C-alpha cells in the first residue's frame, strides 16, 4: 500500500513504484487494464478486492504494466477512459453487488498523468466484517480469497475458521479495551492527576489497532502541537509517555481537567472533567457546550488519524462518568419535569466510521440522543426535524 492518503497520491508516487522496483505484494497489485464486463473478468476483479479486505488491505492500481514473472512495474502506461466517473461507478457497483458481506470504506480515485491518460487506484481497507466472499452466480460462487506475498488464493477450511473467529475476537477486544479504560478513569488512574469531577470520555479505536505489528509514527503529531488539543481546552502541556503522546491542561496545583492521549497503535482517548457542572450541588449537563466541543474534537482527532494513515473503520465510544444525579440544562420554560440520570456511568452505544468521508454531527447524534434519553427526554433538542445540528 502506498504510504499516503489516497487523495494525496500523485503521478510522482506512481513513478516512484516503477523507479524503486516496488514489486507486487500482500498489500499492492498492478493491473494494465480495467476489468471487462464478462463474468470471468468480474470474478477475477472481485477476487482481488475481497482478498485484500480479508487480509491486510491494500491498493489495486490500474494503468501499470508489470513483469508477470517478478511483479515489478515496468511502465506507468495509464488508461484511456472516455468517462472516468461512469467507469468508477461501474467498478463500485460491481464491488457492492458481487461481494458478501459488503465491504465498507473502499475508495476509488483517478489520477491524471502527464501523457494525458489516467491511472486508477482502488484502496481496500482491512475489513472488520471479514471474511468476504465472491457472490456472483456460476463458477466461483461462494469462494473466499486471501492474500499472501505471492498474490491471492482460495481460503481453506482452517483459514476460514480462523478468519471468522478473529473478526469476532477483535471486535470483543475493542469493546473490552473501552470498558477497561473507563474503569481506570473511574478509579482516578489517569495519565495525569485529575480533579475529582464528573467526566466525559471519548475513545476512537481503529479496528487495526489490535494488529500486533501495528505502530504509528506519533512523532508526526507531537511535532505539530496544534494538530491535537484536549476537549474544551485553550492551553496545554505535552509530553511523551509509555503509551504514546499526551497533551493535557495543568493548573497551578498540578491538576488537570482535560487531556488527550494518542496511543502508539492509533487509539485516541480524550477525557474532560470541566464541562459537566457542579454548582452548589446542582449537577447539570450544559446541553449546547458539551455537544459543540465533542463535535469539534471528533473532527480534530479523526484528522489526526488520517494524517497517520490509519485505515478505517474506527469505533467511536462516548462515556459519561460520575454523572448519577445530573440533569440536562436547557430552557424548559417551566413545562418539563427535571429528570436526573440514575447511574454513575453511562456507557453509550458505539458508532462506527467506515470511511473518512463523514459528518461529525451525524456520527455523534445517536450518542447525544442517548444522553438526552437518560435525562428523560426523547432526543437531543440541538437537532432540527431533518436531523441537522443547530448551534443555538
pLDDT for 138 equals: 44
Q: Please say whether the beta carbons of 78 and 118 come within 8 A.
A: yes
Q: How far apart are CA 218 and CA 243, in angstroms?
A: 11
The answer to whether residues 133 and 142 touch, using CB atoms and an 8 Å cutoff, is: yes
Q: What is the pLDDT of residue 309?
A: 86
Q: Hey, what domains does the chain have and what are their CATH numbers?
A: 6-155 (3.30.950.30), 177-374 (no CATH)
pTM listed for this prediction: 0.71
Q: What is the pLDDT of residue 137?
A: 58
Which residues touch 80 (CB under 8 Å, ≥6 apart)? 117
pLDDT at 331: 67
Per-residue confidence in pLDDT tens, the chain, 392 aa: 888 888 899 999 999 999 999 999 999 999 999 999 898 899 999 999 999 999 888 999 999 999 988 999 999 999 999 899 999 999 999 999 999 988 888 999 999 999 999 999 999 988 877 889 998 754 445 789 999 888 888 888 888 887 777 777 788 889 999 999 999 999 999 999 998 899 999 999 998 888 776 788 888 888 887 889 999 988 889 999 999 999 999 888 888 999 999 999 999 999 999 999 877 677 889 988 999 999 999 999 999 999 998 888 899 999 999 999 999 987 655 555 678 999 999 999 999 888 888 899 999 999 999 999 999 999 999 998 888 888 76
At 332 the pLDDT is: 57
Calculate the alpha carbon distances from 292 to 205, 231, 255 in Å: 21, 10, 24
Give the span between the Cα atoms of 274 and 284, in whole angstroms. Answer: 12
Tell me the residue length of the chain: 392
Amino acid at each position: 500500500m502506498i504510504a499516503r492518503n489516497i487523495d494525496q497520491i500523485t503521478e510522482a508516487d506512481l513513478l516512484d513504484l516503477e523507479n524503486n522496483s516496488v514489486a507486487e505484494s500482500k498489500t499492492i497489485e498492478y493491473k494494465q487494464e480495467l476489468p471487462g464486463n464478462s463474468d470471468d473478468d468480474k470474478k477475477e476483479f472481485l477476487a482481488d478486492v475481497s482478498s485484500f479486505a480479508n487480509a491486510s488491505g491494500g491498493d489495486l492500481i490500474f494503468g501499470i504494466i508489470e513483469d508477470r514473472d517478478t511483479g515489478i512495474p515496468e511502465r506507468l502506461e495509464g488508461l484511456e477512459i472516455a468517462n472516468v466517473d461512469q467507469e468508477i461507478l461501474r467498478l463500485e457497483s460491481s464491488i457492492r453487488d458481487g461481494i458478501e458481506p459488503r465491504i465498507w470504506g473502499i475508495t476509488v480515485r483517478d489520477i491524471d498523468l502527464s501523457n494525458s491518460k489516467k491511472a486508477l487506484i482502488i484502496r481496500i481497507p482491512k475489513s472488520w466484517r471479514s471474511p468476504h466472499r465472491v457472490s456472483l452466480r456460476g463458477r466461483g460462487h461462494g469462494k473466499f480469497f486471501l492474500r499472501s506475498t505471492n498474490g491471492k488464493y482460495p481460503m481453506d477450511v482452517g483459514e476460514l475458521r480462523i478468519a471468522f473467529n478473529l473478526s469476532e475476537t477483535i471486535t470483543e477486544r475493542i469493546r473490552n479495551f473501552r470498558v477497561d479504560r473507563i474503569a481506570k478513569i473511574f478509579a482516578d488512574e489517569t495519565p495525569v492527576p485529575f480533579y475529582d469531577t464528573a467526566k466525559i470520555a471519548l475513545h476512537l479505536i481503529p479496528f487495526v489497532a489490535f494488529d500486533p505489528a501495528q505502530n504509528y509514527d506519533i512523532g508526526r503529531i507531537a511535532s505539530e502541537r496544534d494538530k491535537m488539543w484536549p476537549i474544551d481546552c485553550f492551553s496545554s502541556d505535552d509530553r511523551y509517555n509509555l503509551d504514546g503522546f499526551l497533551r493535557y491542561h495543568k493548573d497551578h496545583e498540578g491538576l488537570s481537567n482535560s487531556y488527550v492521549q494518542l496511543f502508539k497503535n492509533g487509539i485516541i482517548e480524550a477525557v474532560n472533567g470541566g464541562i459537566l457542572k457542579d454548582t452548589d450541588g446542582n449537577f447539570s449537563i450544559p446541553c449546547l457546550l458539551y455537544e459543540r466541543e465533542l463535535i469539534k474534537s471528533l473532527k480534530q482527532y479523526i484528522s489526526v488519524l488520517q494524517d497517520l494513515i490509519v485505515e478505517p473503520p474506527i469505533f467511536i465510544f462516548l462515556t459519561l462518568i460520575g454523572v448519577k444525579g445530573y440533569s440536562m440544562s436547557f430552557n424548559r420554560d417551566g413545562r418539563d419535569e427535571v429528570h436526573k440520570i440514575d447511574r454513575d456511568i453511562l456507557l453509550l452505544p458505539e458508532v462506527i466510521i467506515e470511511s473518512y468521508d463523514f459528518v461529525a454531527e451525524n456520527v455523534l447524534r445517536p450518542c447525544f440522543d442517548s444522553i438526552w434519553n437518560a435525562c428523560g427526554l426523547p432526543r437531543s433538542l440541538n437537532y432540527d426535524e431533518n436531523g441537522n445540528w443547530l448551534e443555538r
